[in-house]
Structure formats: C-alpha cells, structure tokens
Chain A
Amino acid sequence: MGSALGRARLLSAGRRMNLETAWPWLALLLLGSLHGLNPGMGWLFAVALGLQEEDRRAVWRSLLPLGLGHAIAIAVALVAVGLLGLVVSLSALKWLVAAMLIGIGAYKFARLRHPKYGGLRMSFRQLTIWSFLMASAHGAGLMVLPIVLGAAPGAGASTGPGTHSSHGTSFAGLLSDGQLAGVMATLVHSGAYLFVCGLIAVIVYEKLGLRLLRSAWVNLDSIWAITLIATGIATLLL
C-alpha cells in the first residue's frame, strides 16, 4: 500500500512537472518543424541533389549535413547568449535579444535577403556551411533564445513559465549549469527540423514531384519575419 501511494504521489508530481515544463520543448519542436517546412532551408536542396544525380540516395545523403549545419547555428546562438549571460544581467540579455529579433525581423520583412552562397555540386562541408548560414540568416538560433530565457529563473515577470522554473528542470538551469540544457535544446530543435525536412524531401522526390512548388511555395519568409518581430515583443512582455 505504502509503495503504491508513493508511486501515485510521484506520478502526480511528474505530471505537474510535465505540464509546467513542457512548453519550451514544444515550442522548440514547433520552431524546428517550421524551419524544416521552409523550402528555402533544406528539403528543396535535398530534392534537387537527388534529381541532379538521378539517385534517391543523394536525397538521403544530403540530410546529415543539412541537419548538422542547422544544429551548429542553434548551438552557436546558445553558446553566445550563455557567455553573454556571464557578464550582463538576465533582463539586459532579454532586451538585447528582443532588439535583435525585432531588428532582423523588420529588415527581413522589408527585403528578402539570403546568403548568396551555393551551387549544385556541394561537398559535405559546403552543404553544412550552407545550412548553417541559411539557419543563421533566418535568425533560427536567435528565435530559440527567448524560449530559453523565458524559462530561466528570475525572469522578472510575475507571470509566465519563467516563474515556475524553480522546479528545477530543463531550461531553469541553463544560465547556471546550462550545458546539458543547451545541448538538449539544440538536439530537440534540430531533430524536429531534420525530421520534417527529410520527410518532405523524400515525399516530394518519391511521390509529389516539383509541380507543387509553383502553387504551394507560400512566402514563409514574410511570415517568418513577422514571427521574429512578434517574438521580440513577446520577449519583452514575458
């Protein structure tokens, strides 16, 4: 009896913890998926390489460097903010991240710009660099920061997940003992990106074909720019 009661108590605590701490992970998954969905950020490249070599293995081969480059972009942003966090206060960090999000969002909304790098004969290294540049230019790493910061302790707001982070899980510890959380955030985000990117690449290559590009390629860049601005504002409010 005693042990059953104890188990129930543990389960209940676990459930409460999940509800309170799941949102940053979900947000990371969602953002990663959104990046995976964007034709300009990888899957279309994988399809093109498959068609160019007339070999479906070329589609699969391109996924690892694409995912790796994306993960490096996220990790670089996390490391940068982690180092900054050593010298400036959390609230200052939030202002900084918010300003960058709004600034980059406004710039991207005004002008559609991409890094001008690439070709169709790409080595593993070149494709990794391309994916890194593309993710960085889209502010992929930057976008992850508010989620991480929002979940950090002492966020200074009366509501929001940050105040609950004293439960001591996931991102709560990022700025103190953050390495593991940073690695997890990178893996979760990039994993979601790679899964969606790979899934679409394979489906388009094997089944759908390129015709759908003409109608289904919605301008995600404009939507993304608005999202960056909105996230920047939300970062200040949280």
Chain B
Amino acid sequence: MTLRPDPTFYPSPQLATEAPPEELAYVVLLSPDGTRPDAMAVVDVDPESSSYGQQVGQTDMPNVGDELHHFGWNACSSHLCPWASHAHVERRFLVVPGLNSSRIHILDTKGDPRNPEIVKVIEADELASKTGYASPHTVHCGPDRLYISALGAPDGEGPGGIFTMDHETFELEGVWEADRGPQYLAYDFFWHLGHDALITSEWGTPSMVKEGVNPEILLAGGYGHQIHVFDLKSRQHRQALDLGAEQQMVLELRPAHDPRKAYGFAGVVLSLEDLSASVWLWYLDGNGDGEWKTKKVIEIPAEPADADNLPELLKGFGAVPPLITDINLTVDDQQLYVACFGTGDMKQYDVSDPFEPILTGSVRIGGIVERAAHPRAPGTPLNGGAQMVEVSRDGRRVYFTNSLYSPWDAQFYPDGIDGWMVKLDANPSGGIAFDERFFATFSEGLRPHQVRLQGGDASSDSFCFS
C-alpha cells in the first residue's frame, strides 16, 4: 500500500495514452518438449539501451510441463473505479497460470524487474478444491479482485468458467458465476465496466484441446462458436450470442476501453465453410437494457497452397487458413491489430467506425508456407507466425511473438518453431513497419507466447472513467 496512487494507474483511457514509453516487456516462454521448466523472460524495449531488443532476464518456473500461456498484472487502472477504489495497491505482481499443470505462479517484479521472484505457487489441487476448475487461462485485474478464466474441470471436461482471487493475498476465493445459464465452453473474457457487463468466449474443454485441434470435433462444429454476456454485478448469465456452428473457436476478446462504449471485437480462428478467419463485433443495441448483437466485420480468406508445402492436418484442403489467433485494440479504440498464425500476417485496421473496419497496414513474417523473413536478416526464412500481439498504451509500438500452444505448434509447424519476438512502429494515422533493430530470440529451444508491458498495455487495463 502506498500514500499516492500507483503511477501506472490512469482514470481514463485518454489519460493512459499519455503514459511514458515502456522499458521492459515480460514474455512467457514454454518448453515444447517439457524437458526444462517454462519461464518468464524479460526483454529490453528501451531504444536508448545497449541491450535494446534482447532478452535481459529470465525466471524459471519451479516445475516442468506447466504450458504457460496467458498471464496478467495483479492490479491496474481499474483499481481507480469509484465503487471499489483500490488506488493505493501497487502494480507489481504477475499472475502466471499453467494451462497444462493448472498451477498458478505469483511473480514479484518490484525487487529486480529484470529477474522477477516467484513468491507464491498455487497447486492444481487447491484450485480444484476451492473453485472446481482446471486449466486456468486469462488473468484480468478487476476493480475489486483478480478474475481468472479456466477451460474446464479437473477431469478434463466442462464447464469452464471464471474464478476469483484476492488481489493482495492471492488467496483463491471461488467460482465467480452465480448462474452460468447455457454457458459450458470457456476461454477468454473481459468486461464493459461502464455497463456492468462481462463478456466470455469459447474454445474447448481441456480434453478437447490438449491433443491439439481434433479434426473430428472440428468438422462436427464441436469447438466453441458463441459469445456470452453476463451481468458483472449479479454474476448472472444474460445472453448467448451464437456466431454459427461453422465459426470454430472464438478466442480473444477486446472490448472498447472507453467505458461509455458498449462494443468490442472477437477473433474467430476458422470458418468450416472456406477456412477463412474472421473478426466479429459485439455491441449493445439501444441503451441500458438493450439487446446485445453481433456482426462479422472482418473476414480474411484462406490462401491456396501446394499440398506438398502443407502440414498433415491441412494437406487435404490445398490452402493455408489465416488462423486468427490473437487480436488487440489500441487504448484509444482507434486501431485493431489482427494476428494470422497461419499466413504470418499482422494486419492493422482503422476501427474508428467499429462496424466498418478499414485495412490500413499489413506485414508478413513466418507463415506455414511463406516463411517470410525479418528485414534485419532478409535472407533467413522464419518459422512460426504472427501470434500474441501487445500494443503500447500510446498505440505507437506493437510487439508480437510467434508461438501459440505446443500441440497447435506441432500441428501447423511440424518442423518446429524457433522463438522470436519483433516490434512494429505504428503510425497513429495508419501504417505499420518493422523496427529493424528489434528481433529478440530466446535460448534453449524455448518459445515465446504472451507479452505484457511494464506499467501496462492495451489489453491489461480497463477503466471506469471516460
């Protein structure tokens, strides 16, 4: 607890865009074969520094086989919310779940920000007994506590959902939902603090995803294809928004940061009709107690390819699916970044009119077929594809990595993935380009996944003031 508010907390998204540039990035690393522990890497992102664009620290997890995936800060700008004001809690801990192990690690970044210290580990047994959930995934710092999603139950089935944790003691509190209605599958979640609404997406239960994409489940439309709306106060299910069974795997959710705006974007990995990928807008139609609706606003088609260049899973289709596996919305809600793990594209859209996104920039790196190079080494083909993307609070710097989830990595990049992290310079009025100085690699066969920026980023913080 401090005397003044944490300096990284901003009352409104507009004020957050004035935040100083980040100096460090936290990146989870996973060991694809489980031969060594997964780790938290620290990458220097200060352009003035001599180690700019390089890994400068690492904290190994205490066990092997965690499958670190997503993670989040213990506290953020939502702590300034007027109804639960926790302005004097510090943003210093990273909450890092393991998707396979169901273990949750708490890392303290304050003492040595370049080598965070593991201060607490919650084992799967405790998670199971206190919440009934397993495979913890998304971590969001709420106004009053930590909220964490989980893919399912300890036996590998559903339902998945959300549990909560005290943001100071890191004690598990229990299941969040009071009434989940028809919701069974889970993955990501976020909220509209100004509308007391919580939005969830659907992937699959632990048993549906742990062996990778299961073609039988996929072709039967068995993976998630809905978005759910809950009431944040009463914790009751309000509405299920079905995108259609052909829209398989609704992953990342990026709601508008402005608490007055009741809309957001959801990425869908694959359409069974034509292997295209899409981004859907969810929005509140009418004020107050209006109805939530969805609309497909971006569609990216599959690209024809020679079967010889395709992995087993895709040979029969003769095409590379774009596979939208991550999206990110700038803090000012003006630009949307769309990562295509299949083709290696990172696309920038102007979403100032959320119903009509306009493509304003695109780069390609890696990709199942193209193996596009980075400008720093134009002759060197790269594997993996544009994946987890994070944007600085001022919207001028975009960081992304190339590994997704080890079972998927093996299916789409069977010859392996050499981990890298790159940075784009973004023009606020449209346009992106690689920063040629920034090409971070990681040692010992470790692969990078989600990125969090020191002090906050475009997908960490939520706001109660507009």
User: Which residues of A are in contact with B by a Cβ distance under 8 Å?
Assistant: 39-40, 44-45, 47-48, 51-52, 54, 111-112, 114, 116-122, 130, 210-211, 213-215, 217-219, 221-222
Contacts of A218 in B (CB 8 A): 3-4
Q: Report the minimum CB–CB distance from A155 to chain B (whole Å).
A: 36
Query: Does chain A have a CB within 8 A of B12?
Result: yes
User: Which residues of B are in contact with A by a Cβ distance under 8 Å?
Assistant: 1-5, 7, 9-12, 15, 80-89, 143-145, 168, 193-196, 232-233, 259-260, 288, 464-466
* CB-based contact A44/B260 at 8 Å: no
* CB-based contact A45/B83 at 8 Å: yes
Of listed A52, A114, A119, A122, residue having the most chain B CB within 10 A: A119
* CB-based contact A219/B2 at 8 Å: yes
* CB-based contact A120/B86 at 8 Å: no
Contacts of B85 in A (CB 8 A): 39-40, 44, 114
* CB-based contact B83/A130 at 8 Å: yes
Report how far A86 CA is from B418 CA in the complex, Å: 78
Q: Report the minimum CB–CB distance from B231 to chain A (whole Å).
A: 9
What are 11 A-B pairs with beta-carbon distances under 8 A? A39-B87, A40-B85, A51-B466, A112-B168, A116-B84, A117-B84, A121-B288, A210-B15, A211-B15, A213-B5, A214-B15
* CB-based contact A215/B15 at 8 Å: no
Contact of A119 with B168 at beta-carbon distance under 8 Å, contacts A114-B85, A219-B2 already known: no
Report how far A48 CA is from B12 CA in the complex, Å: 10
* CB-based contact A214/B1 at 8 Å: no
* CB-based contact A214/B10 at 8 Å: yes
Contacts of A120 in B (CB 8 A): 81, 83, 193-196, 259, 464
Contacts of A45 in B (CB 8 A): 82-83
* CB-based contact A217/B5 at 8 Å: yes
* CB-based contact B466/A118 at 8 Å: no
Task: Name 15 extra pairs, CB < 8 A, besides A48-B82, A52-B194.
Answer: A40-B82, A45-B83, A48-B81, A48-B464, A51-B465, A52-B259, A52-B260, A112-B88, A119-B196, A213-B11, A213-B87, A214-B10, A218-B4, A219-B1, A219-B3
* CB-based contact A47/B88 at 8 Å: no
* CB-based contact B88/A221 at 8 Å: yes
* CB-based contact A116/B2 at 8 Å: no
Contacts of B2 in A (CB 8 A): 219
Report how far A213 CA is from B465 CA in the complex, Å: 11
Of listed A114, A116, A122, A218, residue having the most chain B CB within 10 A: A116
Report how far A221 CA is from B1 CA in the complex, Å: 10
* CB-based contact A213/B80 at 8 Å: yes
* CB-based contact B144/A116 at 8 Å: yes
Report how far A122 CA is from B10 CA in the complex, Å: 23
Contacts of A122 in B (CB 8 A): 83
Report how far A144 CA is from B85 CA in the complex, Å: 24
Contacts of B196 in A (CB 8 A): 119-121
Report how far A118 CA is from B466 CA in the complex, Å: 18
**Please, which residue of chain A has its CB at the minimum distance from the CB of B195?**
A121
Q: Report the minimum CB–CB distance from B314 to chain A (whole Å).
A: 45
Contact of A47 with B84 at beta-carbon distance under 8 Å, contacts A214-B9, A219-B3 already known: no
**Please, which residue of chain A has its CB at the minimum distance from the CB of B169?**
A111
Report how far A211 CA is from B466 CA in the complex, Å: 12
Contacts of B10 in A (CB 8 A): 214
Report how far A80 CA is from B127 CA in the complex, Å: 41
**Please, which residue of chain A has its CB at the minimum distance from the CB of B14?**
A210
Of listed B11, B15, B260, residue having the most chain A CB within 10 A: B11
**Please, which residue of chain A has its CB at the minimum distance from the CB of B6?**
A214
Q: Report the minimum CB–CB distance from B164 to chain A (whole Å).
A: 9
**Please, which residue of chain A has its CB at the minimum distance from the CB of B191?**
A119
**B83 CB contact (under 8 Å) in A112, A118, A217, A222:** A118
* CB-based contact B7/A214 at 8 Å: yes
Report how far A224 CA is from B257 CA in the complex, Å: 33
Contact of A210 with B4 at beta-carbon distance under 8 Å, contacts A44-B85, A112-B88, A119-B196 already known: no
Report how far A219 CA is from B88 CA in the complex, Å: 7
* CB-based contact A48/B465 at 8 Å: yes
Contact of A118 with B168 at beta-carbon distance under 8 Å, contacts A210-B11, A210-B15, A218-B4 already known: no
**Please, which residue of chain A has its CB at the minimum distance from the CB of B231?**
A119
Q: Report the minimum CB–CB distance from A44 to chain B (whole Å).
A: 4
* CB-based contact B82/A44 at 8 Å: yes
Contacts of B83 in A (CB 8 A): 45, 117-120, 122, 130
Q: Report the minimum CB–CB distance from B196 to chain A (whole Å).
A: 4
Contacts of B4 in A (CB 8 A): 215, 217-219
**A54 CB contact (under 8 Å) in B11, B143, B260:** B260
Report how far A40 CA is from B168 CA in the complex, Å: 18
Q: Report the minimum CB–CB distance from A18 to chain B (whole Å).
A: 38
Report how far A117 CA is from B235 CA in the complex, Å: 12
**A210 CB contact (under 8 Å) in B12, B84, B145, B168:** B12
Report how far A179 CA is from B9 CA in the complex, Å: 46
Contact of A210 with B1 at beta-carbon distance under 8 Å, contacts A112-B88, A114-B144 already known: no
Contacts of A214 in B (CB 8 A): 5, 7, 9-11, 15
**Please, which residue of chain A has its CB at the minimum distance from the CB of B9?**
A214
Contacts of B3 in A (CB 8 A): 218-219, 222
